[in-house]
Structure 1
Amino acid sequence: MVEKKKGIFQRILDVIERVGNKLPDPFALFVILSFIVMVISWIFANRGATVIHPSSGEELPVKNLISGEGLQYILESTLTNFTGFAPLGLVLAMMLGIGLAEKVGLLDYAIRKTILKSPPFLLTYTVVFVGIMGNIASDAAVIIIPPLGALVFYKVGRHPLAGLAAGFAGAGAGFTANLLIAGTDVLLSGLTTEAAKIVDPSLIVSPLDNWYFNIVSVFMLTIIGGLVTTRFIEPRLGKYEGGEIDNEIEEQEDHPNAKLGVILVGVLTLVYWGGLFAWMLLDKNSPLTGENGSIMSSPFLSGIVPIILLYFILIGLTYGITVGSIRSSKDVTAKMTEAIQEMAGYIVLVFAIAQFTAYFNWSNLGTWIAVNGAEFLKDINFTGIPLIIGYVIFTALLNFLITSGSAKWAIEAPIFVPMFMQLGYDPAFTQAAYRIADSSINIVTPLFPSMIIILAFMKRYDKNTSIGSYMALMLPYSITFLLAWIILLLVFYFLNIPFGPGIYSLLENSTR
């Protein structure tokens, strides 16, 4: 039998997959990067490289990690680099709350019921919307939402693969957007803060700093995802000619008190957040407000992570007790422990990331690259719009080789955040540019772990499906999401719209 010749697009994907597969595991990658930083610091130090710190005006030498002083630093700081790494505590704390809400079944129930009970005329947009919002449950959304979307589409006589694609586009390509503050916001803002301190040690990037941008993104992507599904994907797929499928997802039984649990969670949500904001608005001397009753620069915003953590713990307890999944304090501990156990891989990775980041900062290589890189970009007049779009495209292409969002940002942040700060851009703006590139391209990278899972779901409805079928199904979402997001980023930039409370694209306009 003669093998069918592959098209150029498939050959490009094959090359990307082969190169990506040869990259080391993320932990090993950061160990290698740490050694590379050590070697580069040795070269620069021996050449007498120095840089003027942009804030203090002090002349800083590039310090040699491969020296007596460097060895002492490495030995004395290894543990504190790890335990003092800001994103670690933030993410693990958030997972105690979000993990509890997930393990008691609240998030799963809310996701399933929202999709399964959606009215037909809103079905497509609901699937995309729930997919985007599902990232509050982290990677679980990619497993839960696409098959639910396929099943509901099948039940109303529409092509199930269109429903699967809509759900996966929302959960995968729209991963970074949400109406709520999610674990992604906490993780990335922690890494961004570490990078920003290279230029300004006092600067802190809050999990809220991209919140307004994310809110607008949710509605924009919901509309675009729905339109791509109905105007392009479904006409291309045509009428579904497959046979009967199992309805095991729909047949899942819920606890008799599940609906009551959700109602109680809704009441608690109104009381909790309504009470907090009423307290701050009515009492200018509230301990949650800042000077003159300000909310923008206040303990409320700087302490938003424990406030959100407490909220998720309370709704997890409320739902868990109502449905009987929590019967004693031991159950609470067990479910939180289970959630943290799933973060074991992240904790291991953070150990290597923390060392890489610390070495980069201590050696002053980060400052040297930021200052000289910014000067170079100014000299060649590569600033403004070309720089923003160029950076987004660069990150999107890098996503084909490194699919882990946190690992990729841990590499990029120490370089690009200080460099863009030197050009006047707020770190939260650079973070937003990174997020849209990383998120939108997720679903078309050959190394994306969930690709195999989605292919398995696709074969349930079409046994002849292949990687080519998958790419043809998901590429329209990826391209349109990226283009729309770039336009939205530029709209925020030109109209000087805040990305979060008091946060704008330019540092000079932001108030922290």
Structure 2
Amino acid sequence: MAELSASVQKRSARNISGLLNTIERLGNRLPHPFMLFVYLALFMIVLSALVSLFDVSVVHPATKETLKVKSLISGEGLKFILTSMLENFTGFKPLGLVLAMVLGIGLTQRVGLFESVITKTIIKAHKSVITYTVFFIGIMANIASDAAFVIIPPLAAVVFYSIGRHPIAGLAAGFASSGIGFTANILIAGTDALLSGISTEVAQTIDANASVSPVDNWYFMSVSTIVLTIVGGLVTEKFIEPRLGAYDGETGKKELDFTSNTLENKALRNAFIAAIVYIGLVALVLFLPNSPLRGDGGTIIPSPFLDGIVPIILLFFITVGVTFGVTMKKIKKTSDVPALMTDSIRDMAGYIVLVFAIAQFIAYFNWSNLATWIAVNTADGLSSINLTGLPVVIGFVLVTAFLSLFIISGSALWALEAPVFMPMLMLLNYNPAFIQVAYRIGESSTNMVTPLNPYFAILLSFMNEYDKKAGIGTLMSLMIPYTVVFLIVWIILLLAFGLLGIPVGPGVGMYIN
């Protein structure tokens, strides 16, 4: 029996290894995301010319206007390509949203506030809840963007090692929470601003008044944070850690120093006070009689408050970041603030370059009317075979999870999928913000099970500090259980929200009202 079990395990390991090798080979053949969208833009130019030869048209579902597919290889098309290029780039809604958020979040990250809060929270957690604390902080740490990948896993490993637990179990918890749980958060993060901008841009091709704000997935992602914390903790303690067994390796890591830093404690206290004061002032203005932040009739949904949520969040991060930085003496003069912000924006150079190509692709897709033509015909086709309702959404989640193995950038993948899937699903009456939630589930679930992830090698190096023999297969075998369980739980949660009529964000249900 033991030999049979060992044989089955070896065969399973070979199958997984073969699958991973296939994924790696296919993924390595993909060009850089910037070049991918350049090629797609060129493909769109050729495709529009070919389809236009058949004189096809489509009736816009909202305006009832008949739209012909237009060729980009024509006088009109050439004029559009040349005259709209700069406007496509500068008018791309996600660009301003993301850069504005980075000014505040990047400043806060540069002064060390995020790292300090994360470290203090994990270190002070009771041993009985340390796994769940790691997961909660790891998921919440996506507010610091990709910095979470290099802060949470090694810190979690040292914490586990310090209390006599297997450090690789800590690494696994850190990997899974900061990577697979990346899209969830109780706070409004840069991801919300980035994706909602793309969603709005695409949704308006179907409905000119459509809008997805950074808070439109807030309820669902807040609940997801709690649910994934519990589920991730259980997977770690009931499956991952028992499978690893007792740790008997050598490590150069020292146990954590649990003593307090007086200056850092003072800075955290001051930042917390600043946060409370800021939130209090915003709440005071919001709930004043005839508040200018409320909508007609005193409503909050919709209201100028929600329309202006990005600058409100930006000022919040600047307030707490400056307070912490001044106390820590990392901000000694006013010129230090724009200098830190400049460093943050400098890190976004790659994103800005990528946006240039994405913006052209989406603009060409929309101008040619191919987006509307594909969406309407696909939606009609699905309706004709009665493939509508939640099965379509679940299928979309699974397709996204698969594509995420090859296209690692969440914004790049959404820019690729949104022009096709969002119009199609909107024509089936799904709310664009609900469609965005489905995308986020699929994309985030497979974040850490592909060697194409730019942080994969870094995470593997962290693991090698505790196990010199650990390789890609080791890391994959640790991440696959989290990926499968998280994806299943997330889909169930999405179904619960949809079937029970629970809004995924303020005033946002499953269907378009």
TM-score, length of structure 2 as denominator length: 0.96
Greater shift in the superposed pair: 92-101 or 386-395: 386-395
| CA shift for structure 1 position 385 | 2.4
From 406, 411, 415, the equivalent of 1:406 is 411
Q: What are the superposed Cα offsets for residues 205-257 of structure 1, whole Å, 9 maximum, x if unpaired?
A: 00000000000000000000000010001110111111243238x46998642
Which residue of structure 2 aligns with residue 416 of structure 1?
421
- Superposed, 1:54-453 pairs within 5 Å as 54-247=61-254, 250=256, 256-283=262-289, 285-453=290-458
- What is the SS of the residue equivalent to 1:444? coil
Give yes or no for contact 1:256–1:323 (8 Å, CA) kept in 2.
no
Is the Cα–Cα contact under 8 Å of residues 371 and 420 in structure 2 kept in the other structure? yes
In 1: Cα distance, 2:477 partner to 2:109 partner: 33
Distance 1:376 1:139 in 2: 40
State the distance in 2 between where 1:254 and 1:454 align: 28
Q: Give the secondary-structure state (helix, strand or coil) at the position aligned to 1:51.
A: strand
State the distance in 1 between where 2:116 and 2:219 align.
27
2:506 to 491, 501, 504: 501
After TM superposition, the score normalised by the length of structure 1 is 0.96
8 Å contact from structure 2 (residues 251, 465) kept in 1 = no
CA apart distance, 1:260: 1.4
Aligned-partner SS, 1:282: coil
Distance in 2, matches of 1:253 and 1:94, equals 34
Percentage of identical aligned residues: 56
State the one-letter code of the partner of 1:225: G
Amino acid aligned to 1:267: I
Aligned-pair CA distance for 1:15: 1.0
Give the root-mean-square deviation of aligned CA atoms. Answer: 1.4
What CA distance in whole angstroms lies between the structure 1 residues aligned with 2:191 and 2:254?
33
1:8 matched to 2:15? The reply is yes
Residues 1:367 and 1:130: Cα distance change in structure 2 (over 3 Å): same
Question: For residues 439-492 of structure 1, what are the alpha-carbon distances to aligned partners after superposition, in whole Å with 9 as ceiling and x for unaligned?
Answer: 011111121111111111111111111111111111111111100000000000
Q: Give 1:474's aligned residue.
A: 479
CA distance in 1, matches of 2:254, 2:299: 53
Corresponding residue pairs, total: 503
Contact 1:317 1:326 in 2 (8 A): yes
Distance 1:35 1:394 in 2: 24
Residue deviations 1:87-142 (CA, integer Å, cap 9, x gap): 00110010000000000111111111111221101100000111000000000001
Quote the Cα distance in structure 1 between the aligned partners of 2:242 and 2:262: 40
Q: Does the alignment pair 1:484 with 2:489?
A: yes
* C-alpha distance in structure 2 between counterparts of 1:213 and 1:356, whole Å: 30
Q: Which runs of no fewer than 5 residues in structure 2 stay unpaired?
A: 1-9
- 1:49 to partner: Cα distance: 1.1
CA distance in 2, matches of 1:128, 1:379: 44
State how far apart, in whole Å, the 2-side matches of 1:270 and 1:330 are.
26
Identify unmatched segments of 5+ residues in structure 1. Answer: none
CA distance in 1, matches of 2:392, 2:209: 26
- Look up the SS of the partner of 1:443 in the other structure: coil
* Corresponding letter in the other structure for 2:159: V
Contact 1:242 1:461 in 2 (8 A): yes
Counterparts of 1:389 and 1:505 in 2: how far apart (Å)?
Answer: 13
Q: Give, in whole Å, the separation in 2 of the partners of 1:450 and 1:47.
A: 46
CA distance in 2 between counterparts of 1:111 and 1:434 reads: 28
Structure 1 residues 252 and 231 mapped into 2: Cα distance closer, same or farther (>3 Å)? Answer: closer
